[in-house]
Chains A and B, each alone.
Chain A
Amino acid sequence: MHVSHTMPRAPGLAWDVERIRKDFPILQQEVHGKPLVYLDNAATTQKPQPVLDALQAYYTADNANVHRGVHLLSERATEAYEAARRRIQRFLHAADPREIIFVRGATEGINLVAQTYGRRNVRPGDEILITALEHHSNIVPWQMLCEDRGATLRVVPIDDAGDVDLEAYERLLSDRTKLVAVAHVSNALGTVVPVARMIEAAHRRGVPVLVDGAQAVAHIRVDFQALGCDFYVFSGHKTFGPTGIGALYGKTELLDQMPPFHGGGDMIKSVSFEKTVYNDLPYKFEAGTPDIAGAIGLGMALDYLEGLGRDQVAVYEHELLTYGAERLSSFPGLRLIGTARHKVGVLSFVVDGVHAHDVGTILDREGIAVRAGHHCAMPVMARFGVPATTRASLAIYNTREELDALVSGLEKVRDIFG
């Protein structure tokens, strides 16, 4: 019963971006009297009509609580919710749908692992290893865990291009390392981190790896079996799905030995005042009524992405990135921050003598939505010696013309600031 506005296409067919744009009603508007140019996709992506329709259809026809009712609506809601779980499993190649835990987003997934796996396994003197390009959400939960357990947070440096220093990584891996937590794609720099290699090196030492895929799933093919990751988290809203929903993947053997995160309904088999028996996977980690509509919307978003062809998505976005990087790097006084060899569509930059906020305000008046600031990655800003950057981040519906508009907007910045 999946309705896809954009049908699957054979490889090699031209990318019909105008057709894709029609699937995103929000893009058909003007802001400040100019056509909206939405280049803030690393913050959140827009939602295609099939996702909006799925949310509407669920609340209109099927809304009921899951895993409870004997009535038909509850049956339908449960089936749709569990179908979304299986959709995620197939899309990302988990071995079993029970390895997919619905959470509010990548942040909650990381906190779940830190507070359950981490608290159970990390002891005083142990180390957690992260990298210098992490989002705050893959730093702070580990700091909290380390503080609580008397452990130490170690940070793998990055080079001037924004690539992780793999030699330093191998040196930092030790018998004290209890977990590696690393972004698949940097939100501030766009770097695609060679996580498969990092996982292999960690596994040689028996160290499990959590991958923060918040910026990856919408842009590159992700395959848990090929990666071999132990945990993986991502957010629906950065993947053309609704806000408030995301997923944590964990290998069954790890999830099984972890204590629950939140207590409540749905995560138990039986409750008495003396003894509560926890539910099986994945429900052990899904206390309370979940975001049922969100899960269904996320499932539909992944269907939509699959329909476009995930390899074509990556190829198209790479072409756009290359074009944007060329145009921006020839702009006088502009410096790109994050020039890794393997990147997704993130163009982070500073303009001589103009603060990112002023750039952001002027671009906004031209209809162009970008992020200006530290991108929740203050250590990355410190690494490059800038207080903030302007970031244009791309997705499937962006066009070369929009990147041309960005450059015209920057000319306006230069006109004002002289």
Chain B
Amino acid sequence: MSELQELYQQVILDHNRKPRNFRQLPSPTQTAEGYNPLCGDRVSVQVQLEGDVIRDLAFQGSGCAISKASASMMTASLKGKTVGEAEEVFDRFHGMLTDDRPSAQLPAALGKLAAFAGVREFPIRIKCATLPWHALHAALAGQAEPVSTE
């Protein structure tokens, strides 16, 4: 597979075309904005927490296929997880894209999110993939200021 095919895998293209949880939550307990000033990508992440559990999770915004698919797959994979579990997934996801020598077990532990492994080969696109995750992290931390990739 070429690097481009690794980047634009079918599952990513599918989530780009038909993003899941692309809506406004009626009464989110937590929200945060993510913004990439270099390209103008914007994502707002809304969380419905019940105690420590992410009961519902949605996003809105505009961006490239990588950021949109990443937001979509993030919301799909974290629903029902605890805050601690979600942060763990983020750590693994981040590590898969940015660690100098990512652990060989990472993709397996990430399930469908492993589709983003190909982003590693496109360094300037890594921020596209991590933007919604940073926004989620800020939402869970109750951060009011929009997060920026820069």
Given A362-B4, A365-B4, A416-B4, verify A357-B39 contact (CB < 8 Å). Answer: yes
Choose from B3, B17, B68 the contact partner of A365 (Cβ within 8 Å).
B3
Q: Are A354 and B65 in contact (CB under 8 A)?
A: yes
Centre residue among B39, B66, B125 by max chain A CB count within 10 A: B39
Please tell me if A418 contacts chain B, counting CB pairs below 8 Å: yes
Choose from A362, A372, A416 the contact partner of B39 (Cβ within 8 Å).
A372
Choose from B3, B13, B63, B122 the contact partner of A355 (Cβ within 8 Å).
B63
Q: Are B4 and A355 in contact (CB under 8 A)?
A: no
Q: Are A358 and B3 in contact (CB under 8 A)?
A: no
Please tell me if B8 contacts chain A, counting CB pairs below 8 Å: yes
Contact string, A372-394, partner B, CB cutoff 8 A, digits 1/0?
11100010010000011000000
Please tell me if A273 contacts chain B, counting CB pairs below 8 Å: no
Contact string, B43-72, partner A, CB cutoff 8 A, digits 1/0?
000000000000000000011111010000
Please tell me if A143 contacts chain B, counting CB pairs below 8 Å: no
Min C-beta distance of B132 to chain A, whole Å: 14
Residues on B with beta carbons closer than 8 Å to the beta carbon of A365: 2-4
Choose from B17, B38, B66 the contact partner of A358 (Cβ within 8 Å).
B66
- How many B residues touch the partner, as a band? 20 to 34
Centre residue among B3, B8, B68 by max chain A CB count within 10 A: B8
Complex formed: what's the CA distance from A415 to B3 in Å? Answer: 15
Q: Which residue of B lies closest to A364 (CB)?
A: B122
Complex formed: what's the CA distance from A336 to B69 in Å? Answer: 26
Contact string, A327-354, partner B, CB cutoff 8 A, digits 1/0?
0000000000000000000000000011
Min C-beta distance of A352 to chain B, whole Å: 12
Q: Are A387 and B40 in contact (CB under 8 A)?
A: yes
Q: Are B65 and A378 in contact (CB under 8 A)?
A: no
Complex formed: what's the CA distance from A388 to B65 in Å? Answer: 13
Please tell me if A279 contacts chain B, counting CB pairs below 8 Å: no
How many interface residues does A have (CB within 8 Å)?
Answer: 19
Residues on A with beta carbons closer than 8 Å to the beta carbon of B41: 357, 387
Complex formed: what's the CA distance from A16 to B64 in Å? Answer: 39
Residues on A with beta carbons closer than 8 Å to the beta carbon of B64: 355-358
Q: Are B38 and A418 in contact (CB under 8 A)?
A: no
Min C-beta distance of B22 to chain A, whole Å: 15
Complex formed: what's the CA distance from A122 to B40 in Å? Answer: 33
| Contacts of B97-134 to chain A: CB distance below 8 A | 122, 125, 128
Given A387-B62, A416-B4, verify A378-B39 contact (CB < 8 Å). Answer: no
Min C-beta distance of A299 to chain B, whole Å: 34
Complex formed: what's the CA distance from A31 to B42 in Å? Answer: 30
Q: Are A374 and B65 in contact (CB under 8 A)?
A: no
Complex formed: what's the CA distance from A350 to B1 in Å? Answer: 28
Given A358-B64, A416-B13, verify A388-B122 contact (CB < 8 Å). Answer: no
Residues on A with beta carbons closer than 8 Å to the beta carbon of B122: 361
Residues on A with beta carbons closer than 8 Å to the beta carbon of B86: none
Complex formed: what's the CA distance from A201 to B78 in Å? Answer: 61
| Contacts of B1-39 to chain A: CB distance below 8 A | 2-4, 7-8, 13, 17, 38-39
Choose from A361, A373, A417 the contact partner of B38 (Cβ within 8 Å).
A373
Min C-beta distance of B14 to chain A, whole Å: 10
Complex formed: what's the CA distance from A365 to B118 in Å? Answer: 14
Q: Are B4 and A357 in contact (CB under 8 A)?
A: no
Complex formed: what's the CA distance from A355 to B13 in Å? Answer: 12
Residues on B with beta carbons closer than 8 Å to the beta carbon of A355: 63-65, 68
Residues on B with beta carbons closer than 8 Å to the beta carbon of A373: 38-40
Q: Which residue of A lies closest to B5 (CB)?
A: A416
Q: Are A388 and B3 in contact (CB under 8 A)?
A: no
Residues on A with beta carbons closer than 8 Å to the beta carbon of B8: 358, 416-417
Q: Which residue of A lies closest to B65 (CB)?
A: A358
Contact string, B75-109, partner A, CB cutoff 8 A, digits 1/0?
00000000000000000000000000000000000
Complex formed: what's the CA distance from A355 to B17 in Å? Answer: 12
Complex formed: what's the CA distance from A365 to B7 in Å? Answer: 12
Min C-beta distance of A203 to chain B, whole Å: 38
Q: Are B128 and A357 in contact (CB under 8 A)?
A: yes
Q: Which residue of B lies closest to A374 (CB)?
A: B40
Q: Which residue of B lies closest to A416 (CB)?
A: B8
Min C-beta distance of B18 to chain A, whole Å: 12
Q: Are B13 and A381 in contact (CB under 8 A)?
A: no
Complex formed: what's the CA distance from A378 to B41 in Å? Answer: 12
Q: Which residue of A lies closest to B17 (CB)?
A: A353
Given A372-B39, A387-B42, 6 additional A-B pairs, CB 8 A: A356-B39, A357-B66, A361-B125, A373-B40, A381-B40, A388-B40
What residues make up the interface of B, taking CB atoms closer than 8 Å to A?
A: 2-4, 7-8, 13, 17, 38-42, 62-66, 68, 122, 125, 128
What residues make up the interface of A, taking CB atoms closer than 8 Å to B?
A: 353-358, 361-362, 365, 372-374, 378, 381, 387-388, 416-418
Residue contacts A-B, CB under 8 angstroms, 18 given: A354-B65, A355-B63, A355-B68, A357-B41, A357-B64, A358-B8, A361-B122, A361-B125, A365-B3, A365-B4, A373-B39, A373-B40, A374-B40, A378-B40, A387-B62, A387-B63, A416-B4, A418-B13
Q: Enumerate the 4 nearest inter-chain pairs by beta-carbon distance, A residue then B residue, closest first.
A: A355-B64, A357-B64, A358-B65, A373-B39
